[in-house]
A = this chain, B = another copy of it.
Amino acid sequence: MKIISSPKEMKAFSASARAEGKKIALVPTMGALHHGHLSLIKLAREKADVVVVSIFVNPTQFGPNEDFDKYPRQLEADINNCRECGADAVFTPSVSDIYAPDASTYVVEEQISKELCGKSRPKHFRGVTTVVTILFNIVKPDIAVFGEKDAQQISIIERMVRDLFMDVEIVRAPIVRDENGLALSSRNKYMDKLERIGAARIHRALEATKKMVEEENCRNVDRVKAFVINNIANAKARVIYAEVVDAKTSLPVSELDPGKCRVSVAVWYGQTRLIDNILI
């Protein structure tokens, strides 16, 4: 497995794979890899000839009061995990490899990005679409794999790829959960074991909501939102939002269309911001 930090070298690696007619998959990550990430790498391995995992904690997607500095970094363990999952290359550029001191160009998605997490993290998705564009332009993958825990992020990236005619197929991979149901996230490291057990209530609430919708044949979006908020909220869990959205676009819907919607939530669990979602 190659470990590459220079964008120029990464371009050369990809160009040579492409020249051999190989299909390239990119798994963009911010490192601190967990079993969710590893499932993405394995899926990429099944779908492509060459698997590139990028590890880059992207400063432009963190707000000024967010956790860029304390975001977990564990490059050596990440590299070992990538190797074990069969990656062909790990791309680990530095911040200055990706952003010139006077960088001034951004890719912005202006509809989906304004909803859900976009309301409290106004420049977050701009950072995501910009860095994903840069990674796509460097690696030039045929496919890129993203996890559905970040369902809104995938919807935005799919929209960007369509709008800007990018030649990448976006592959959605299912959420991976721990033994209690908590969706895996690098930010789970901010919680201790007891908190992680407590935070699994988010997933239980989403499951209960799905069951309620099915049993009562509920179409009323407000009722769904009230139900899920009521099931999550307790002394430690403060709900930031709960929305019923289109499963593909992540745009809020006014009426529930069974099988085509998703309930998406963001929750402060203690000091940790968590997101999760479920298809309904």
Q: Chain A interface (Cβ within 8 Å of chain B)?
A: 7, 11, 99-100, 102-112, 129-130, 133-134, 137-138, 159-160, 162-167
Q: How many copies does the complex hold?
A: 2
In this complex, what residue of B is CB-closest to A130? B164
Least Cβ–Cβ distance between A99 and chain B, in angstroms: 8
Q: Is there contact, CB below 8 Å, between A129 and B111?
A: no
Least Cβ–Cβ distance between A108 and chain B, in angstroms: 5
Q: Is there contact, CB below 8 Å, between B104 and A164?
A: no
Q: Is there contact, CB below 8 Å, between B111 and A163?
A: no
CA separation between A112 and B103, bound complex, in Å? 11
Least Cβ–Cβ distance between A273 and chain B, in angstroms: 25
Least Cβ–Cβ distance between A150 and chain B, in angstroms: 18
Interface residue from B102, B109, B134 paired with A105 (Cβ < 8 Å): B109
In this complex, what residue of B is CB-closest to A103? B163
Can you report 24 residue pairs joining A to B where beta carbons are below 8 Å apart? A7-B165, A11-B165, A11-B167, A99-B163, A100-B163, A104-B111, A104-B112, A104-B159, A104-B163, A105-B107, A105-B108, A105-B109, A105-B160, A105-B164, A106-B108, A106-B110, A107-B107, A107-B108, A107-B164, A108-B108, A133-B164, A134-B164, A137-B164, A137-B167
User: Could you say which residues of chain B place their CB within 8 Å of the CB of A166?
Assistant: 137
User: Could you say which residues of chain B place their CB within 8 Å of the CB of A162?
Assistant: 100
Query: Which 5 pairs of residues, A with B, have the shortest CB-CB distance?
Result: A105-B163, A104-B111, A137-B165, A105-B160, A105-B109
Least Cβ–Cβ distance between A207 and chain B, in angstroms: 32
Q: Is there contact, CB below 8 Å, between B100 and A104?
A: no
User: Could you say which residues of chain B place their CB within 8 Å of the CB of A102?
Assistant: 111
Least Cβ–Cβ distance between A18 and chain B, in angstroms: 10
CA separation between A133 and B104, bound complex, in Å? 15
CA separation between A11 and B137, bound complex, in Å? 17
Q: Is there contact, CB below 8 Å, between A105 and B138?
A: no
CA separation between A138 and B166, bound complex, in Å? 8
User: Could you say which residues of chain B place their CB within 8 Å of the CB of A104?
Assistant: 109-112, 159, 163
User: Could you say which residues of chain B place their CB within 8 Å of the CB of A160?
Assistant: 105
CA separation between A40 and B111, bound complex, in Å? 37
In this complex, what residue of B is CB-closest to A161? B105
Least Cβ–Cβ distance between A19 and chain B, in angstroms: 11
User: Could you say which residues of chain B place their CB within 8 Å of the CB of A100?
Assistant: 162-163
User: Could you say which residues of chain B place their CB within 8 Å of the CB of A99?
Assistant: 163
Least Cβ–Cβ distance between A14 and chain B, in angstroms: 11
CA separation between A167 and B8, bound complex, in Å? 11
Least Cβ–Cβ distance between A251 and chain B, in angstroms: 9
